Amino acid sequence: MSLDSKVPQGPIKDKWTDYKNHIDLVNPANKRNIDVIVVGTGLAGGSAAATLAELGYNVKVFCFQDSPRRAHSIAAQGGINAAKNYQGDGDSTYRLFYDTVKGGDYRSREANVYRLAEVSANIIDQCVAQGVPFAREYGGLLDNRSFGGVLVSRTFYAAGQTGQQLLLGAYSAMNRQIGRGKIKMYNRHEMLDVVKVDGKARGIITRNLITGEVERHSAHAVVLGTGGYGNVFFLSTNAMGSNVTAGWKAHKKGAYFANPCYTQIHPTCIPVSGDHQSKLTLMSESLRNDGRIWVPKHKKDVEAIKSGALKPRELAEDDRDYYLERRYPAFGNLVPRDVASRAAKERCDAGFGVNATGEAVFLDFASAIQRYGKETAHVKGLDENDAALVKKLGQEVIKNKYGNLFQMYEKIVDQDPYNTPMMIYPAVHYTMGGVWVDYNLMTTVPGLYCIGEANFSDHGANRLGASALMQGLADGYFVLPYTIGDYLSNDIRTGPISTDSKEFEEAEKEVRKQLEFFVTNKGSHSVDYFHKKLGKIMWNKVGMSRNVKGLTEAIAEIKALREEFWKEVKVPGTNEEYNEELAKAGRVADFLELGELFAKDALNREESCGGHFREDSVELDGEQKGEALRNDKDFAYVSAWEYKGEPSDAVLHKEELEFKDIELKQRSYK
Site residues for other proteins, 129-158, by CB under 8 A, read 129-131, 133-142, 158
Residue-wise burial string across 605-634, b where 16 or more C-beta atoms lie within 10 A, e elsewhere: bebbbbbbbbeebeeeeeebeebbbbebee
Alpha-carbon distances, residue 379 vs 129, 373, 382, 390, 397 (angstroms):
37, 10, 8, 12, 13
Q: How many CB atoms lie within 10 A of CB 416?
A: 10
Residues 591-650 that bind other proteins (CB under 8 A): none
Q: CA-CA distance, 236 to 231, in Å (whole number)?
A: 6
Exactly one of 188, 337, 347, 630 is catalytic; which is it? 337
With contacts defined by CB under 8 A, name the span among 115-123, 416-424, 503-511, 658-666 that binds other proteins: 115-123
Residues 220-239 that bind other proteins (CB under 8 A): 237, 239
Q: Does residue 562 have an active-site annotation?
A: no
Torsion of CA 383, 386, 389, 395, to 10 degrees: 110
386 within 8 A of 377, measured Cβ to Cβ: yes
Q: CA-CA distance, 441 to 381, in Å (whole number)?
A: 58
Residues 258-297 that bind other proteins (CB under 8 A): 273-274, 276-279, 281-282
Residue number with CB closer to other proteins (130 or 370): 130
Shortest distance in whole angstroms from residue 569 CB to other proteins: 11
223 within 8 A of 524, measured Cβ to Cβ: no
Decide if residue 210 touches other proteins (CB under 8 A): yes
280 within 8 A of 236, measured Cβ to Cβ: yes
Residues 34-93 that bind other proteins (CB under 8 A): 47, 50-51, 54, 65-70, 72, 74-75, 84, 86
Using CB under 8 A, pick the residue from 27, 92, 407, 604 that binds other proteins.
407
Torsion of CA 452, 454, 460, 461, to 10 degrees: 130
Q: Which residues contact 418 (CB under 8 A, 6 or more apart)?
A: 365, 369, 395, 398, 399, 406
Decide if residue 506 touches other proteins (CB under 8 A): no
Q: CA-CA distance, 237 to 508, in Å (whole number)?
A: 33
Decide if residue 241 touches other proteins (CB under 8 A): yes
Decide if residue 252 touches other proteins (CB under 8 A): no
Shortest distance in whole angstroms from residue 137 CB to other proteins: 7
Shortest distance in whole angstroms from residue 16 CB to other proteins: 13
Q: CA-CA distance, 477 to 185, in Å (whole number)?
A: 18
Residue number with CB closer to other proteins (237 or 455): 237
With contacts defined by CB under 8 A, name the span among 307-315, 573-581, 600-608, 635-643 that binds other proteins: 573-581
Residue number with CB closer to other proteins (167 or 609): 167
Shortest distance in whole angstroms from residue 303 CB to other proteins: 22
Residue number with CB closer to other proteins (505 or 580): 580
Decide if residue 125 touches other proteins (CB under 8 A): yes
Decide if residue 572 touches other proteins (CB under 8 A): yes
Decide if residue 178 touches other proteins (CB under 8 A): yes
According to DSSP, residue 440 is labeled T
Using CB under 8 A, pick the residue from 198, 318, 414, 663 that binds other proteins.
414
83 within 8 A of 95, measured Cβ to Cβ: yes
- Report the residue count for the chain: 670
According to DSSP, residue 628 is labeled B
Shortest distance in whole angstroms from residue 374 CB to other proteins: 26
Decide if residue 342 touches other proteins (CB under 8 A): no
Using CB under 8 A, pick the residue from 176, 184, 297, 306 that binds other proteins.
176
101 within 8 A of 459, measured Cβ to Cβ: no
Residues 462-501 that bind other proteins (CB under 8 A): 477-478
Decide if residue 412 touches other proteins (CB under 8 A): yes
Active site residues: 337
